Amino acid sequence: MITVLHWDAAARTCCGRSHDELPPTAAAADDDDVWWVDLSDPTPAEEEKVFRTFLPVHSLTFGDITKERRTPSEGTHLPKVEEFPDYLFAVVNPLPPGLAESLGPAKKGAPRPSLRELRERRKHRPQLSAVMTRNVLVTHHYRPLACVDAARGFAERHADAARRGPDFLFHHVLDAMVDEYSPVVDAVGARLDALETRVFRDPSPQLLARLLRLKRVVTGLRKTLILEREVLARLTRGEFDLVDEREIVYYRNVYDHLVRYTELVEAAREMVSDLMESHLSAVSTRLNQVMKVLTMISTVVLPMTLVAGVYGMNFEENVSPSFKSDWGFPFALGMMALLGVGSVAYFRARRWL
């Protein structure tokens, strides 16, 4: 589906248009007008119309834009930004919908995603591609994106946003995309706090599996944030002519937010690693305690077994008077009890118990 937003400089209005109302080519559009063409889950014919006829792009750019459709097994393209002679091309990876909810407390009866499912989600994270000229912005994505809807709604409510050009519109898309990290980072922090209290109280294989799932999510977030931070850093350095100098300050504001989220995710990654090490230490401590108890029981019972073995031997001749005495059996039991109590007292004296 193709959605078109047009800023008419003559009428000073911003409104939606049909894709049939697009100029024949982007170069034929009025220099004072601004066009935002959004392709949401487009057909190959619609992609050909926009990227081959309306705004022709390099074959490598077209391959990167359509990678998710052409090679779905390889996943989406990683974030990057490239400058061509007549346009600027950028790729970012917005968050998949429902990620914050999946990190929150599990609903009753709702299964947790497996490691394989998390790996597939990370591999097939949404891709947002943008091609920008002086007066045209083309965005492309195969799945509905909240950041695009939010930026388009803002432009429809505030006509001046579209009047300021494609670079300002793209800033709003990036700003809305970065704001989506806030609930996810909060959910990761809350999840870590909840797991931290359980690591020492109830270490278990299920808890370790949850830590591994969370580590996968945090690692994927960190990788994406680092690459997107590099994209924003290049957009804020003023190295692209299509990003106006007065708009750089807005990109810098988005960059600052992205840096803060990157630092929080990095801290979360370190905390997950620390919790996994603490979990292994807690399991080792519990195992040592169990082994200590079992060793104590074995050591206490061992002298009793020795006495029982000695008194269980049969002799033809009396070696000791107690063998054929009526007090022989009570004497053996008393000796066992005395050895057991003596062993426990010795353990306590050595502070082993």
Dist CA 228 CA 206 (whole Å): 33
Residues 15 and 48 placed together within one structural domain of the fold = yes
- Count the domains in the chain: 2
Integer CA distances (angstroms), 322 to 311, 328, 330, 331, in order: 10, 5, 10, 8
Q: What is the C-alpha to C-alpha distance for residues 112 and 190, in angstroms, rounded to an integer? A: 17
Whether 101 and 237 share a structural domain:
yes
For 48-100, the pLDDT digits (tens) are: 999 998 999 999 999 999 998 888 888 788 899 999 998 999 999 998 876 76
- Alpha carbon distance 311, 319 (integer Å): 12
| CATH code, 147 | 3.30.460.20
Q: What's the chain's average pLDDT? A: 82
Same domain as 154, residue 83: yes
Contact 55, 88 (CB under 8 A): no
Do 4 and 36 touch, CB atoms closer than 8 A? yes
User: For residue 94, what are the contacts with CB-CB under 8 A and spacing of at least 6?
Assistant: 125, 126, 128, 145, 146, 147, 177, 180
- DSSP symbol at 349: H
pLDDT of residue 117: 57
* pLDDT reported for residue 90: 93
Q: What CATH number is associated with residue 326?
A: 1.20.58.340
Are residues 341 and 295 part of one domain? yes
Name every residue whose Cβ is closer than 8 Å to that of residue 188 and which is 6 or more positions away in sequence: 103, 214, 217, 218, 221, 265, 268
Q: Looking at the whole model, is its pTM more than 0.95?
A: no
Quick one: CA dihedral 27, 251, 146, 14, positive or negative?
Answer: negative
What confidence tens digit (pLDDT) does each residue in 199-230 have? 877 778 888 888 888 888 888 888 889 999 99
For residue 320, the model assigns a pLDDT of 52
Instruction: Say if residue 238 is in the same domain as residue 345.
Output: no
Give the mean model confidence (pLDDT) for residues 160-169: 85
5 versus 352: which is more confidently predicted? Answer: 5
154 and 140 in a single domain? The answer is yes
N residues, the chain = 353
Over residues 36-58, mean pLDDT: 91
Look at residue 108 in the predicted model and tell me its pLDDT. Answer: 47
Q: Are residues 337 and 200 in the same domain?
A: no
Q: Given pLDDT bands bounded at 50, 70 and 90, which one contains residue 316?
A: very low
Residue 140 and residue 78 in one domain: yes
Residue 37 reports pLDDT greater than 70: yes
Sheet with 88-92: list strands edge to edge: 13-17, 2-8, 34-40, 136-141, 128-132, 88-92, 80-83
Distance of CA 207 to the CA centre of its chain: 17
Q: Which of 284, 309, 341 is the C-terminal boundary of a domain?
A: 284
Residues 57 and 202 in one domain: yes
Helix (H, G, I), strand (E, B) or coil at 134: coil
Instruction: Provide the pLDDT for residue 315.
Output: 46
DSSP code of residue 41 = S
Determine the Cα–Cα distance for residues 24 and 18; give it in Å rounded to an integer. Answer: 13
pLDDT for the residue numbered 140? 94
Per-residue pLDDT reduced to its tens digit, 225-277: 999 999 999 999 888 888 888 889 999 999 999 999 999 999 888 888 888 88
Mean predicted confidence (pLDDT) in 119-123: 56
The per-residue pLDDT for 21 is 79
Tokens at residue 114, please? 């497996």
Is 190 in the same domain as 309?
no
| Better-predicted residue by pLDDT, 247 or 160 | 247
- Which two tokens mark 243? 């990003």
Name the helix (H) or strand (E) containing 230. Answer: helix 205-236
Structure tokens at 17: 């248009």
pLDDT at residue 82 in the model: 92
315 lies in the same domain as 260: no
pLDDT at 4: 86
Of 284, 316, 337, the residue at which a domain comes to its end is: 284
Judged against a pLDDT cut of 90, whether residue 198 lies above it is answered with no
| Dist CA 208 CA 218 (whole Å) | 15
Residue 283 clears pLDDT 90, i.e. is over it: no
The verdict on 271 and 338 lying in the same domain is no
In which domain, by residue range, is 46 found?
2-284
Domain end residue (candidates: 228, 255, 284)? 284
Residue 129's pLDDT is 94
